[in-house]
Amino acid sequence: MDREKMWEHAVDFHGHVCGGLMIGFRAALYAAELLDLKYSEDEEVVCIVENDSCSVDAVQAVLGCTVGKGNLLFHMRGKQAFSFYNRNTGKSVRLVQKDRPADIPKSESLNYYRNCSDEEMFEVKPTTIELPEEARIFDSYVCECCGEKTGANWIRILDGKKVCLDCWSEYDRLNI
């Protein structure tokens, strides 16, 4: 798919054109170039995003990283930063958005992000988080309080009963 069609796909997926979407679009394309990435059918590509902004939708649309497949993970730090991993080669990169020049008003940021070079837009750094293991599939248990099925990893034992996190109350005598 050519760049313009990928952009249209990202816009259709996201719902509108905005600077945030362009940031994620450019990050995904730059990572694809740096790491020889293709659209991820399963978990070949992993992305850890440090925000939950519009930019994340572009990563999903361009590289196929999704929460449901387990190859899109959130490490919330409020930064326009993206760590990309190629499971096939073991290579990775962290892209951190640079500030746009002070003389470019926010109203012109979409144009700037569309036309600047990758090097003007992102600082390329080594990843700081190890490549996460592939997503696991957990057995499910019925919570003995609310009756809802819950993955085994999120079950707790309370008074001898298997309970979900919503029904479990943490024990802390100091309330710190």
CATH of 136-176, one of 1.10.3470, 3.30.420, 3.10.450, 3.30.60: 3.30.60
Structure-block tokens of residue 2? 């050519």
**Mean pLDDT, rounded, for 93-97:** 98
Q: What is the pLDDT of residues 6-39, one digit of tens each?
A: 999 999 999 999 999 999 999 999 999 999 999 9
- Higher-pLDDT residue of 62 and 106 is 62
Instruction: Give the DSSP letter of residue 132.
Output: P
Note the CATH number of domain 3-125. Answer: 3.30.1330.130
Mean pLDDT in residue range 160-175: 84
Task: Tell me: pLDDT of 170 over 90.
Answer: no
Question: Residue 172's pLDDT is what?
Answer: 67
Which pLDDT band holds residue 174 (cuts at 50, 70, 90)?
Answer: confident
Give residue 102's identity as a one-letter amino acid code. A
pLDDT of residue 169: 81
Same CATH topology for 3-125 and 136-176: the answer is no
Residue 118: closest CA among 1, 14, 3: 3
Closest CA to 72 of 63, 123, 95, 80: 63
Residue range 117-155, pLDDT digits in tens = 999 999 999 999 999 999 888 899 999 999 999 999 999
Structure-block tokens of residue 100: 């746009």
The domain spans of the chain are 3-125, 136-176
Average pLDDT of the chain to the nearest whole number: 94
- Give the per-residue pLDDT at 51: 97
Percent with pLDDT over 70 in the chain:
97
